[in-house]
Structure 1
Amino acid sequence: MRYLFEDYALDPERRELYRGADVVSVAPQVFDLLDYLIRNRERVVSKDDLINTIWNGRNVSDAALTTRLNVARHAIGDTGEKQRLIKTLPRKGFRFVGTVREAKKPAGGAVSDIPTEQPKPALPLPDKPSIAVLPFETMSGGPEQEYFADGMVEDIITGLSRSKSVFVIARQSTFTYKGKAVDIKEVGRELGVRYVLEGSVRKAANRVRITGQLIDATTGVHLWADRFDSLLEDIFDLQDQMTSNVIGAIAPLLQRAEIERAQRKPTGSLQAYDYYLRALAAFYRRTREETTEALRLTEIANGIDPEFAAAYALGARCYIQRKSFGWWTGTAEEIAETRHLARRAIELDQDDPSVLARAGHALAYVVGEVEEGADLVSRAINLDPNQATARYWMGWIHLCLGEIDPAIEQFQVALRLSPLDPSIFTAHSGMAWAHFMAGRNDEASSWAAATIRRQPNFLAGYRIMMACHAMSGRVEEARKACMLALQLDPTLRISRIKDVVPLRRAEDIERLAQAFRIAGLPE
């Protein structure tokens, strides 16, 4: 028997949750919670019912129960605000209110009335104007010029997201559509936005042309289209024009002063900007060689323009990536260079959210200056609430400070801002660490497994996987994960725990050390 609702199917026999043909990764307790609520959907389920059934009567805090419910909602595209499928009835309990169909499985195990492919469920629209900017088509110069068009789009997204009155999908999610023929209505459904901006870039000699069209994804109606031509040296003015016109088209009553304040050139040198865009393209390829190349290109950009804050911040972010993937040695020189790049970026620009977020994360994660990093990333979020990467990083900083629930909240916000993000493994890994630190080993193991599926060479995923298995008594699996982690980083040692993650709470460090010893990590 399977339970079908919206685009989901819950299979109690296989203990799997499906969205269309895809398996949705959920922790065992979260699956049990969904299963119990759906089976008992005709009544209100009390807190005691859940504790007796899911936790076998053990003492469970309200915060822990709320966290499980929020994770369950997220797994099926629901939220605590909307409560479209799982409703909380104050002082009474909880009830699954979605429409459910029951389907018997034929002998082969498949459900006959579910097609092999189903459209992804529509995310609920935010309460303010929402937009996704798709990758622009490159009209000249061949594939080697794509970095230029991609950089244009990233800057337009940044300009739009600085308006607190607009909900803007992160670049990492919109770029999953690159090179694909798309249905704008389907894009709107998958990303949960009302408007979609698409366009093209043509670059020839010293001139550039940007075209754009804004579409209402709920109706398919074209709201606005325009073409911008200028000399290449005026490219920043073109970006500002497009950003302002888009804002004006989707929300005439919005306060445009926020956008106008954000309209400033990142550098006076087009050549430096070109090297920056090349570095950004190399960084997103996420290999050891390309990350090194990105760092080299940022150095060239800053050699041309020593006051280019964004290039310094991107250089600091390269060190973040090298550390998280195990591509660095952790020498004093590397840490000092990261500190120099981050502090120089902040010194040059204290009002750019991307600069603040990158520099703050580098100071917290690489340098170990967690509190200062937290302040910078928090300020970045205040300036730009739509920046998904800042949300990821704020979640990790909360973990370092031992603040579990705020960390989970930040990861969940990031997942909504960037639901198709290729970097989603960062949030999955963060969720695994959060549940591990809270003693929820089974849930942590599930999130760790999701991390590895998404990014098989992500060192942090194997570290937390071996810790979860060790504390759950699965020693052989823990030792296997430990061997894989050591293959990625042979220098990994228990004595270097604080170098791996700058944890502030002694109990978190001790628990992690205990888990690593069980897994067989050298002292």
Structure 2
Amino acid sequence: MERRLTAILSADVVGYSRLMGVDEGGTLERLKACRRELVDPTIKEFHGRIIKLMGDGALVEFASVVDAVQCAASIQRKMASRDQGVSETQRIQFRIGVNLGDIIVEGDDIYGDGVNIAARLQGIAQPSGICISGTAFDHAAHKAEVGFSALGEQHLKNIADPVRVYRVLLDPGETGKVVAVARRPSRRAMILATFAALLIAAAVIAVGWQRAFAPQPPSIAVLPFINLSGDPGQDYFTDGITDNLITDLAKLSDLDVISQNSVFAYKGKPHVLSDIKRDLGVSFIVEGSVRRAGDQIRVNAQLIDAASGDNLWANRFARGGADVFAIQDELSRQIAEALGLELTPSEAERIARPPTANLEAYDYYLRAEQATRNGRRSRLLEALALFDKAEALDPGFAEAFAADAHATAYVWRSAYDDVLQSAPARKRAYDKASRALALDPELPSPYAVLAVMQVVDRRYEQAITSAQKAVSLGSADAEAYMALAYVQLVSGNHDGAAAAVETALQHDPNLSAIDRYTAGLVFYLLRDYAKAIDNFERARDGSPGNGELVTPLAMAYVRAGRLHDARAAVAEGVRLQAGRDCLAGWRLSHAHFRKQDLAFILDGLREAGLAEWPFGFKGDERDRLNGEEIASTVIGKLLRGKTEPSGSPALMQIGLDGNAAFRSATQLMTETVSINGDMLCEQSENAFGQADCGPVYRRANSPDETIYAYVNSTKVFYFSPVK
């Protein structure tokens, strides 16, 4: 039995039995002629494969959703002008449904819910109309020459779950439009039913239409410039020249630019133009060098045709250090001119505008950007301090605040509490992103940061708006599309998330480790385990030694039947995280996901052997305290003991009002303690501000003076109340 994802078109003649009753012979002849002259040629034109023809309908398979929708629209438009001499009561009309779904293939026939949903959509379409599913809409929006009207979630006959449905608008004047549901949706419906329509329609409108119907713009990769200063300490400055050239070129609407993340994979490595053309899919390559000596800067650059290797343009710039922005401006303009691009006045103004007039602030900014490049904890604290210095020297430096917000959000999202604890990191990221946008509302990066943070905070409407804005401003910005992917992933629109990932990969084939992790989750929840494994492995390889990016492989390996590899991944992830990785931690850090999606993640990790609690702790349920016993043991008490794995001393002071403080050799925090059922819960600025709950056990055979054990997602605390 073969399964595959495909686009299905189901068509049916309206009132076929009535037509046959009125004029059986005439109806049959007109229908045969219609198929021969109109339907079959149109299906062939759009590369469809007819699966079966029934007396009053057809089932057709397409490799492309866009082709399926275009075919349906073409048939209905042609039918509108056919049979003009036939009375209304005898005229042939079709209803058509289109779905993208999983099918079962047996011989030349197809079965499954993917087919059934297409048939049900055809059944609710108006005469001469088309209805498509949300999965089909996610791929066809602004790529097919039609408009769409969102009908919300519909309960279709014999289909277990509600299906998002869109009516296709065939009037040429409505092409490109997406009309939202007229009635006010519930909160759940807004997130799950109209989410893709609202988000994709607004997010992709600036670029999807152009990509579908206009010639593709030239694509270019700016390879990391070589530092010829003889001082490795000047790498940050050379990298800054590369970064800013990429940023400036990305501001040009007629040019596709590969992101910094992908091109910096080539830094310090020999490269072959044909390999770069193949790996990055670009037509042109810029390479160059920087020599900085004292107050003098010399930059050499050349533009190369990736296919032929021909040198299309080259120049040398030698200036004083104060003219670094003038050099960058001339570089961008001359490359654009060599490519035959005409800059609009606004593009020319944005390229010419220096990010700051303070060269010392700019220097701190470049150093901070270099420190954040690989996302390692050891450099992130240094980076935040450098951003602070740049911002203090120039409070109007929008790019510095935007980069600061991005780095801080990474710290917050990764729960790097040793760099900056959750609440301060969250506040800092919001503040820096807001400041950046106040200074320059056209920056896409702060909107991408806000989108991710808002969806984790479950502020879905704001996350949608921010993701829309990020993509509309950063049409070639992989970070913006990955923010869009994450918002859709969390909201359960996995097909839309996958589409956003694919778009991001066009601009950044070498996504960052955390973005590869997001992509892995998207494909895992889509049950595409080969792609999930590929992305999880790339995330692991992109951040060596990061156990948080090793464990995710386990769940994908399990689903792919690679149980031995899954258990090895769990063991390695736990080792790299010093025993702290556990199901409780995943449950807390992914609490903003849909319940069914989180359950599917946890089930995979559990089958791979990941323990429920950190350090492999297991309690005997016969020794577990109930809620009343926990309250009488800890509330209003000083608890003295030790923590795993080091056995270092620790204290927890809990007031009668639940206000508490916990202190160990490595941690000091204030929090609120409560009892939830038979669990003791701590709520602090960590764990995204969520309550971290766990059981309390008596230690029947304690090897020391501690007589209780409390465990949650981050700690095992052996303690005794102090009398």
Q: TM-score, normalised by structure 1?
A: 0.69
Describe the shift of the 1:450–1:354 C-alpha distance in structure 2 as closer, same or farther (beyond 3 A).
closer
Query: C-alpha deviations, 1:166-215, integer Å up to 9, x for none?
Result: 11111222222223444435433432222222222222322323232222
Describe the shift of the 1:443–1:170 C-alpha distance in structure 2 as closer, same or farther (beyond 3 A).
closer
Per the alignment, residue 521 of structure 1 pairs with 612
Choose from 314, 321, 330 the match for 1:225: 314
Per the alignment, residue 86 of structure 1 pairs with none
Provide the rounded CA distance (Å) in 1 between the counterparts of 2:599 and 2:248.
44
- 1:292 aligned onto 2:345: no
Per the alignment, residue 400 of structure 1 pairs with 490
The offset of 1:251, in angstroms, is 2.0
Provide the rounded CA distance (Å) in 1 between the counterparts of 2:309 and 2:116.
42
Choose from 423, 426, 439 the match for 1:335: 426
Provide the rounded CA distance (Å) in 1 between the counterparts of 2:571 and 2:274.
46
Contact 2:557 2:566 in 1 (8 A): yes
3-state SS in 2 of match to 1:407: helix
The offset of 1:148, in angstroms, is 0.4
Provide the rounded CA distance (Å) in 1 between the counterparts of 2:276 and 2:602.
45
Per the alignment, residue 12 of structure 1 pairs with none
Query: C-alpha deviations, 1:401-431, integer Å up to 9, x for none?
Result: 2211111111112222222x2x454454333
The offset of 1:296, in angstroms, is 1.9
Contact 1:129 1:167 in 2 (8 A): yes
Provide the rounded CA distance (Å) in 2 between the counterparts of 1:203 and 1:359.
37
Query: C-alpha deviations, 1:242-271, integer Å up to 9, x for none?
Result: 111211220244646424334322222111
Contact 1:151 1:277 in 2 (8 A): yes
Q: How does 1:315-394 map to 2 (within 5 A)?
A: 315-323=404-412, 327-328=416-417, 331-364=422-455, 369=459, 371-394=461-484
Q: Which range moves more in the overlay, 148-157 or 251-260?
A: 251-260
The offset of 1:434, in angstroms, is 1.8
Contact 2:551 2:572 in 1 (8 A): no
- Which of 1 and 2 has greater Rg? 2
Query: C-alpha deviations, 1:299-337, integer Å up to 9, x for none?
Result: 222222233222223223223433555533653233223
Per the alignment, residue 435 of structure 1 pairs with 523
Per the alignment, residue 418 of structure 1 pairs with 508
Describe the shift of the 1:161–1:397 C-alpha distance in structure 2 as closer, same or farther (beyond 3 A).
same
Contact 1:295 1:315 in 2 (8 A): yes
The offset of 1:159, in angstroms, is 0.8
Choose from 149, 165, 178 the match for 2:254: 165
Per the alignment, residue 235 of structure 1 pairs with 324
Describe the shift of the 1:259–1:500 C-alpha distance in structure 2 as closer, same or farther (beyond 3 A).
farther
User: Relative CO higher for 1 or 2, CA cutoff 8 Å, sep ≥ 6?
Assistant: 1
Per the alignment, residue 149 of structure 1 pairs with 238
Q: How does 1:154-303 map to 2 (within 5 A)?
A: 154-253=243-342, 255=344, 257-303=346-392
Contact 2:406 2:445 in 1 (8 A): no
Provide the rounded CA distance (Å) in 1 between the counterparts of 2:463 and 2:556.
27
Contact 1:213 1:224 in 2 (8 A): yes
More helix by share: 1
Provide the rounded CA distance (Å) in 1 between the counterparts of 2:470 and 2:296.
34
Per the alignment, residue 552 of structure 2 pairs with 464
Provide the rounded CA distance (Å) in 2 between the counterparts of 1:64 and 1:179.
53
Per the alignment, residue 59 of structure 1 pairs with 112
The offset of 1:356, in angstroms, is 3.5
Provide the rounded CA distance (Å) in 2 between the counterparts of 1:190 and 1:443.
18
Contact 1:132 1:195 in 2 (8 A): yes
Contact 2:290 2:298 in 1 (8 A): yes
The offset of 1:139, in angstroms, is 2.6
Describe the shift of the 1:500–1:176 C-alpha distance in structure 2 as closer, same or farther (beyond 3 A).
same
Contact 2:401 2:436 in 1 (8 A): yes
Per the alignment, residue 135 of structure 1 pairs with 224
Provide the rounded CA distance (Å) in 2 between the counterparts of 1:484 and 1:328.
22
Contact 1:197 1:215 in 2 (8 A): yes
Contact 1:272 1:301 in 2 (8 A): yes
Query: C-alpha deviations, 1:196-245, integer Å up to 9, x for none?
Result: 22222222322323232222222222222223333322322221221112
Describe the shift of the 1:400–1:50 C-alpha distance in structure 2 as closer, same or farther (beyond 3 A).
closer
The letter for the 1-side match of 2:435 is: R
- Which structure 1 residue ranges, 4+ long, deviate > 6 Å from structure 2? 28-31, 43-46, 62-65, 470-477
Provide the rounded CA distance (Å) in 1 between the counterparts of 2:359 and 2:115.
55
The offset of 1:467, in angstroms, is 4.1
3-state SS in 1 of match to 2:483: helix
Provide the rounded CA distance (Å) in 1 between the counterparts of 2:103 and 2:604.
30
Provide the rounded CA distance (Å) in 1 between the counterparts of 2:271 and 2:562.
45
The offset of 1:460, in angstroms, is 5.1
Describe the shift of the 1:448–1:210 C-alpha distance in structure 2 as closer, same or farther (beyond 3 A).
closer
3-state SS in 2 of match to 1:52: strand
Q: TM-score, normalised by structure 2?
A: 0.51
Q: Which range moves more in the overlay, 335-344 or 512-521?
A: 512-521
Per the alignment, residue 117 of structure 1 pairs with none
The letter for the 2-side match of 1:168 is: V
3-state SS in 2 of match to 1:224: strand
Count of residues in Structure 1 that have an aligned counterpart in Structure 2: 424
Q: Which range moves more in the overlay, 131-140 or 324-333?
A: 324-333
Provide the rounded CA distance (Å) in 1 between the counterparts of 2:293 and 2:235.
13
Contact 1:201 1:208 in 2 (8 A): yes
Unaligned runs of 5+ in 2: 6-47, 52-60, 63-101, 119-135, 137-142, 145-214, 614-693, 695-723
The offset of 1:275, in angstroms, is 0.9
Describe the shift of the 1:465–1:326 C-alpha distance in structure 2 as closer, same or farther (beyond 3 A).
farther
Q: How does 1:491-506 map to 2 (within 5 A)?
A: 500-501=589-590, 503=592, 505-506=594-595
Contact 1:431 1:444 in 2 (8 A): yes
Provide the rounded CA distance (Å) in 1 between the counterparts of 2:310 and 2:303.
9
Describe the shift of the 1:245–1:369 C-alpha distance in structure 2 as closer, same or farther (beyond 3 A).
farther
Contact 2:103 2:113 in 1 (8 A): no
The offset of 1:145, in angstroms, is 0.6
Describe the shift of the 1:149–1:302 C-alpha distance in structure 2 as closer, same or farther (beyond 3 A).
same
Provide the rounded CA distance (Å) in 2 between the counterparts of 1:192 and 1:171.
15
Contact 2:490 2:593 in 1 (8 A): yes
Contact 1:462 1:485 in 2 (8 A): yes
The letter for the 2-side match of 1:382 is: S
Describe the shift of the 1:302–1:364 C-alpha distance in structure 2 as closer, same or farther (beyond 3 A).
farther
The letter for the 2-side match of 1:409 is: A
Provide the rounded CA distance (Å) in 1 between the counterparts of 2:286 and 2:238.
14
3-state SS in 2 of match to 1:268: coil
Query: C-alpha deviations, 1:45-87, integer Å up to 9, x for none?
Result: 9669972369x9872537999xxxx9xxxxxxxxx99xxxxxx
Per the alignment, residue 151 of structure 2 pairs with none
Contact 1:342 1:360 in 2 (8 A): no
Provide the rounded CA distance (Å) in 2 between the counterparts of 1:219 and 1:256.
33
Unaligned runs of 5+ in 1: 1-27, 32-42, 71-79, 82-125
Provide the rounded CA distance (Å) in 2 between the counterparts of 1:403 and 1:216.
40
Describe the shift of the 1:246–1:441 C-alpha distance in structure 2 as closer, same or farther (beyond 3 A).
closer
Q: How large is the Cα RMSD of the aligned pairs?
A: 4.0
